[in-house]
Amino acid sequence: MNRAMTGQQLTSLYLDYLDCLNRREWRYLGSFVSMAVVHNGRHIGLAGYQDMLQGDYRAIPDLHFTPELLTVGPKAVACRLVFDCMPVGIFLDLPVYGRRVRFHEHAFYGFENNRIAEVWSIIDHAAIAAQLAGPV
């Protein structure tokens, strides 16, 4: 079952993964994410990955993953995600405290055996800081 997926299959798989996150269907997360997943160089594994996501939802109860741009390589997906949400407290070291912020994440996903095996993610921290510095 280690056959290479087509770009269309990988796109579809990735969008199903986002749907799984948005529905918070954690019992299906292992269908999309490898047991040995690595996130930004940290070997957190599937359980650690789920903990991270559940922590994100506690910090941002109205969190929703929306893909804006998508490019697909043979075994990789890159996605520009947009978030429009209200983190309840301090988020990424910034005192958001329930204000509405809009920001992007640029994430690369390496796939192995049709599951996400490694994620490299950067969030646009400066955009959030700029919104907090601006008028309420």
Strand partners, 98: none
Residue 31 or 121: which CB sits closer to its own copies? 121
Residue 23 or 126: which CB sits closer to its own copies? 126
CA gap 103, 116 in Å, rounded: 23
Which of 54, 32, 55, 27 is closest to 111 using CA atoms? Answer: 32
Residues 9, 31, 54, 71: which binds its own copies (CB under 8 A)?
71
Distance of CA 113 to the CA centre of its chain: 20
Residue 41 or 135: which CB sits closer to its own copies? 41
Binding mask 21-60 for its own copies (x = CB under 8 A): ----------------------------------------
